[in-house]
Chains A and B, each alone.
Chain A
Amino acid sequence: MLEIENLTKRFGGVTAVAGLSLAVSQGEVLGFLGPNGAGKTTTMKMVTGFLTPDSGTARICGHDIGRDTLAAQASLGYLPEGAPAYGEMTPREFLAFIAGVRGLFGDTARTARDMAVARTGLESVMDRPIETLSKGFRRRVGLAQAILHDPEVLILDEPTDGLDPNQKHAVRRLIRDIAAKKTIVISTHVLEEVEAVCSRAVIINKGMVVADGTPASLAARAPGGKLEDLFRQLTAHEEAAA
């Protein structure tokens, strides 16, 4: 469903992503872990076609993001970091815009919108400008936009960042609800989240995969049996050395 092949990106002299390869299949919820600056967001930007990789590629449902960009993007739902939206629009207008761009009209668009709105619990704020909404609601508007067209592949960059525990719980439940039929990649540095929703976890450091397995199997690799210990062991070298 989602295949990432040898993806590489350099900014100036700094290598952000170094030959990253990964295959995620339907039904999997992949937790994409790594310290800040490890290349999580850069990888997601390349997979969704926002950035062009220096080498390597990604395929979404078989569509190459570089050569078959529009087909790849059509099968993709993406929540960018920080859930950007058009602040002056209301969620109703915003979702209508996204539906229009994605080629959904009339009843199809309404059904899709009602489904996305119900899943993200936006009913009460549909007619308030997005810029006046709380961080939690704004994040949910971003999620609603990502799932609106019922995409096969979902890429969510820190979907629960800045949410309160209740909101986090709601988002995780949403992800679990739709997980069976989808391929989902979530970036996060909240490790408990991985244990709560992910069927697989990948830890990356300096743009490379350093660990890959179920959250339980990864946790078992650390002496204390905790995912957090393994994460620190694999990604904290330079700070320990300094």
Chain B
Amino acid sequence: MNALRAIFRREFAAYFATPIAFVFLVIFLFSMGIFTFYVGHFYDSGVADLSLFFNYHPWLYLFLIPALAMRLWAEEKRSGSIELLLTLPVPVWATVLGKFLAAWAFAGLALALTFPVWITVNYLGHPDNGVILASYVGSFLMAGAYLSIGAAISSATSNQVIAFVVSVVVCFLFTVAGAPVVVDAFQGWAPVAVVDAVVSFSFLTHFAAITAGVIDLRDLVFFTSLIALFLFANVLIVDSSKGG
């Protein structure tokens, strides 16, 4: 536990040691604002709720979360500090978890800083704050799912650009798994069960269900188990790298 905490703290502080944290936070908040108020025409919608705001989260995460995750392992491999890290008396799972939680906490901080949007909508009308809270929880879980994918991919390469690009592609596939472009690719030849399985991986579908105010345990379980799955993959990738 001590080691986990030490790794978490180092990793979290690492975001703030360079301009990464500030660049990320500014771009994150700025694009949230642009998408909600300009692209989404929040004021014209005439409805005091945050569904417009949350609708854009998957698309922003698609690019911003891989940017947050890409350095987690690739940077250590490039600089050689991975050798130091993996010869400290820490189980691999604790290292993987510590890094993930640090990045997730940072993503959570960015999300929490969008609170002025919530204040705005409460000033303008009487939104259902229960739905908003659920949407924030859902958004945070979804960010964790994107992050776990990015972290696992980062551990497979020493090149941050490759980690970023591959993560964006994989995250994109998970995001749109329910959309026609993916469904059509499977529908011609795959059995219905496979098509249904692929569709059920769609982040958009699960997230839309949460933001609609329908708190279905299945959607929460989906994101949590996806996080667990990719963290497990992350551990396996780090372990297998020890084989040379």
Chain A residues with a Cβ under 8 A of chain B:
9, 11, 45, 48-52, 69-71, 73-74, 76, 78, 80-82, 84-89, 93, 97-98, 100-103, 105, 145
Q: CA–CA, A102 to B90, complex, Å?
A: 8
Contact status of A51 and B79, CB under 8 A, knowing A88-B18, A101-B88: no
Determine how close the nearest CB of chain A comes to the CB of B156; give it in whole angstroms: 17
Interface of chain B residues 69 through 118 with chain A (CB within 8 A)? 79-84, 86-91
**Interface of chain B, main secondary structure:** helix
**A100 is contacted by which of B3, B17, B82, B91 (Cβ under 8 Å)?**
B3
Q: CA–CA, A5 to B7, complex, Å?
A: 33
- Could you tell me how many residues of chain B have their Cβ less than 8 Å away from some Cβ of chain A? 26
| Chain B residues whose C-beta falls within 8 Å of the C-beta of A87 in the assembled complex | 79
Asked if A97 contacts B242 (CB within 8 A), the reply is no
| Chain B residues whose C-beta falls within 8 Å of the C-beta of A52 in the assembled complex | 242-244
| Chain A residues whose C-beta falls within 8 Å of the C-beta of B87 in the assembled complex | 48-50, 73, 76, 78, 80
Determine how close the nearest CB of chain B comes to the CB of A27; give it in whole angstroms: 24
**A84 is contacted by which of B5, B9, B18, B84 (Cβ under 8 Å)?**
B84
**A88 is contacted by which of B6, B14, B80, B86 (Cβ under 8 Å)?**
B14
Q: CA–CA, A189 to B2, complex, Å?
A: 38
Q: CA–CA, A50 to B84, complex, Å?
A: 9
Asked if A84 contacts B81 (CB within 8 A), the reply is yes
> Is B10 an interface residue when CB atoms closer than 8 A count as contact?
yes
Asked if B88 contacts A98 (CB within 8 A), the reply is yes
Q: Mark B111-148, 1 if CB is under 8 A from A, else 0.
A: 00000000000000000000000000000000000000
